[in-house]
Amino acid sequence: MGVVIPLEESKNKQASVKPLVELTREGMERVNQLILSKAGSDVQMIPEVANHLISSGGKRLRPMLTLASASMFGYQGEHHVKLATAVEFMHTATLLHDDVVDESDLRRGKSTARMIWGNQASVLVGDFLLGQAFRMMVDVGSLDALDVLSTAASVIAEGEVLQLSVAKNMETTEDEYLSVIRAKTAALFAAAAEVGPIVARTDKSERNALKSYGMNLGLAFQLVDDVLDYGGKSAELGKNTGDDFREGKITLPVILAYRRGTQEERAFWRDAIEGGNSSDENLEKAMGLIQKYGSLNDTTARALHYGAIARDALAPLPDSAWKNALLEVIDFCISRVN
Amino acid sequence: MGVVIPLEESKNKQASVKPLVELTREGMERVNQLILSKAGSDVQMIPEVANHLISSGGKRLRPMLTLASASMFGYQGEHHVKLATAVEFMHTATLLHDDVVDESDLRRGKSTARMIWGNQASVLVGDFLLGQAFRMMVDVGSLDALDVLSTAASVIAEGEVLQLSVAKNMETTEDEYLSVIRAKTAALFAAAAEVGPIVARTDKSERNALKSYGMNLGLAFQLVDDVLDYGGKSAELGKNTGDDFREGKITLPVILAYRRGTQEERAFWRDAIEGGNSSDENLEKAMGLIQKYGSLNDTTARALHYGAIARDALAPLPDSAWKNALLEVIDFCISRVN
């Protein structure tokens, strides 16, 4: 417990999403065009709300995964651009609904759509984007891709409801939490990566490789996000630190600190998370306990574990610039904690 | 203005949805089985929320339309059952989200899901049902049916956002209102009826006939609902009367009364609808103005117009028990105002 895991510092410090960005630059320009076109509507509020979130500076990792996972098999057409856009719309719809469900005021430092246009518009514009996503999938015409993405849509929603059920329950186990993030976050990463080989018409083993890569990358990505919310490895209070704590969200750093704590410490967590006592003073104390039990290091260790699985999932594929870029994304995701 | 339209009383008094119910009885049993199965989940809250609404005694007109519009062309398989279930799930998802958007406490005299499980669960279970609906469509494997239903999903959401934009604006015109209900209500009726001929693999003219039937039936259905909300032709205050008024909803009876009113009466409407002064006293006064200007009769006349178009849409099709049942549904929908 609390052992510092060597993070292969020298390598990770260099890890970057840039090679993937460079390789997908031309494709992402087509994705961005399609996003603007398909978020358009005569109903003015729709592009307003959609563009607020779409232009808010997300990394667009998911659509890049779809482009890369098709291009690495030599795919040259337009289908991967449409599916990448559909994936980004599914993600955007989820964020719009999430902000309503979590009653969030801020996302990436900006007011959420629900704070500007209200919960109503956020729910409905999310529904619209989901409908548009399905129309683009239908346009591509691949029933296999439709199967993967519609299943992901169900699984994501199911994961969100599961999260609601376990919310503010400090007895949540690590396994239960993993089920939640597997459904909420990793399923869309997996689907985004799996539809690439589908449109490239490769064989089943390559589909499965990319699906496993996406799923495990998604788990690593979410766990690192959980660490970052408590300030990363340095565990210093930044201006975006502690949002999960203030919202009473149970994430792996909290689960580990709770389960490793004394009776008194566990009472503190229940009061803070279940009882909603998320004062700055309590946040400081929570950070101290998380430090005491090495919860951030150990959550990062879990992320490294899933990152390793993602890496091995791609191992049988021939070397290429695409494959290297996807491998570097794993290191990049994890290196964010440093 | 205010002319009483002859409603073909003798015929309409007998009109019933029963022939359609009888003809689709066996198919609807399979739909009901599939609803229970596909609303199931290990996440307990999902079937709880879904079944609350699904078992709340709706007429299930939309899935019956899908079954009938396939069976009338001799279709014998299982695809229409799956699409009918998908249509009902799309409808249920819309209701769950609508109740959140409208902040409704009651639906069909029962507490809404959001009052029992909260807005969060209503948004997310709606998303889950929408995902399951798409999975069933994918399972059927018809890209044409997927195209029709995914387009309907976008159009419905777009119509809801449009309604939000025009909400509480008394200058809304009849045309604008028709755009809203065409998207919000009629589009799903049209899609439900159009996918029948698609799975039965009939020709394009039969698809268009059923689509037009569904679209115009949906318009008539919604306009009659608007009339019923003000007590129907008798315009007596019943216990469910006036909900639209209390929620500040602008419907055709209100639009007609407002546009035909004096300056003073228009000021009253703006105060009541835009200003939210929906006291029982004001409801009584609103009912009086609606009576004075014959708004309920004239809204019913509009419904009859769309009902006539729906009837003519089916005219070229050969006579059959199925066709007669669908025609009787038009009269049944409109006869509800008497």
H helix or E strand, kind and range, residue B111 = strand B110-111
- B-side interface with A, Cβ within 8 Å? 41, 43-46, 97, 100-101, 119-121, 123-125, 127-128, 130-132, 134-135, 137-138, 141, 143, 146-147, 150-151, 153-158, 160-162, 164-165
What three-state secondary structure class fits A111?
strand
Distance from CA of B83 to the nearest CA of A (A): 15
Using a CB-CB cut-off of 8 Å, the residues of chain A touching B161 are 41, 43, 45-46, 121, 124-125, 128
Q: Is a pLDDT exceeding 80 seen at residue B53?
A: no
Contact A91, A188 (CB under 8 A): yes
**What pLDDT digit, counting tens, does each position of B235-265 carry?**
555 556 888 898 889 999 999 999 999 999 9
Q: What is the pLDDT of residue B12?
A: 45
Q: Is A161 close to B121, i.e. CB distance below 8 A?
A: yes
Distance from CA of A44 to the nearest CA of B (A): 8
CA-based nearest residue to A255, from A182, A175, A179, A187 = A175
What three-state secondary structure class fits B24?
coil
Task: Give every CB contact of residue A315 below 8 A, 6+ residues apart in sequence.
Answer: none
Distance from CA of B50 to the nearest CA of A (A): 12
Taking the C-alpha atoms of residue B136 and residue B79, their distance in angstroms, rounded to an integer, is: 9
Measured CA to CA in angstroms, residue A259 lies from A1, A169, A250 at distances of: 12, 13, 12
Least CB-CB distance to A147: which of B124, B138, B158?
B138
**What pLDDT digit, counting tens, does each position of B61-72 carry?**
999 999 999 999
CA-based nearest residue to A32, from A60, A53, A10 = A60
Per-domain boundaries in chain A: 16-328
Chain A, nearest residue to B114 by Cα: A101
CA-based nearest residue to B299, from B236, B205, B213, B224 = B224
H helix or E strand, kind and range, residue B242 = none
Using a CB-CB cut-off of 8 Å, the residues of chain B touching A97 are 123-124, 127
What three-state secondary structure class fits B135?
helix
Q: Per-residue pLDDT for chain A (338 aa), expressed as one digit of tens each?
A: 444 454 444 454 579 999 999 999 999 999 999 999 999 999 999 999 888 877 776 789 999 999 999 999 999 999 999 999 999 999 999 999 998 888 888 777 788 888 888 889 999 999 999 999 999 999 999 999 999 999 999 999 999 999 888 878 999 999 999 999 999 999 999 999 999 999 999 999 999 999 999 999 999 999 999 999 998 765 555 556 888 898 889 999 999 999 999 999 999 999 999 999 999 999 999 999 999 999 999 999 999 999 999 999 999 999 999 999 999 999 999 998 87
**What pLDDT digit, counting tens, does each position of B55-101 carry?**
776 789 999 999 999 999 999 999 999 999 999 999 999 999 998 88
CATH number for the region B143-187+203-313 comes to 1.10.600.10
Q: Is A135 close to B150, i.e. CB distance below 8 A?
A: yes
Query: How confident is residue B118, by pLDDT bands cut at 50, 70 and 90?
Result: confident
Using a CB-CB cut-off of 8 Å, the residues of chain A touching B131 are 150-151, 153-157
Chain A, nearest residue to B151 by Cα: A135
Give A335's strand partners: none
- How large is the average pLDDT for residues B269-296? 95
Q: What is the pLDDT of residue B270?
A: 96
Q: Is B125 close to A165, i.e. CB distance below 8 A?
A: no
Distance from CA of A102 to the nearest CA of B (A): 8
Token digits for A221? 């990505």
- When scoring A134, A144, A147 by the number of chain B Cβ atoms within 10 A, the one with the most, hence best to mutate, is A134
Q: Is A128 close to B101, i.e. CB distance below 8 A?
A: no
Distance from CA of A336 to the nearest CA of B (A): 30
H helix or E strand, kind and range, residue B231 = none
Chain B, nearest residue to A144 by Cα: B138
Taking the C-alpha atoms of residue A49 and residue A51, their distance in angstroms, rounded to an integer, is: 6
Q: Which CATH architecture has domain B18-141?
A: Orthogonal Bundle (1.10)
- Looking at residue B319, its amino acid is D
**What pLDDT digit, counting tens, does each position of A277-302 carry?**
999 999 999 999 999 999 999 999 99
Pairs of CB atoms within 8 A across A/B: 135
**What pLDDT digit, counting tens, does each position of A32-67 carry?**
999 999 999 999 999 998 888 777 767 899 999 999
* Chain-centre distance for alpha carbon A156: 11
Q: Is A43 close to B165, i.e. CB distance below 8 A?
A: yes
Using a CB-CB cut-off of 8 Å, the residues of chain A touching B134 are 134, 146, 150, 153-154
Q: Name the DSSP letter for residue A232.
A: T
Q: Is A138 close to B131, i.e. CB distance below 8 A?
A: no
Query: How confident is residue B153, by pLDDT bands cut at 50, 70 and 90?
Result: very high
Task: Give every CB contact of residue A281 below 8 A, 6+ residues apart in sequence.
Answer: none
- When scoring B48, B102, B124 by the number of chain A Cβ atoms within 10 A, the one with the most, hence best to mutate, is B124
- φ and ψ of A39, to 5 deg: -90, 0
Q: What is the pLDDT of residue A4?
A: 47
CATH number for the region A16-328 comes to 1.10.600.10
CA-based nearest residue to B229, from B299, B330, B302 = B299
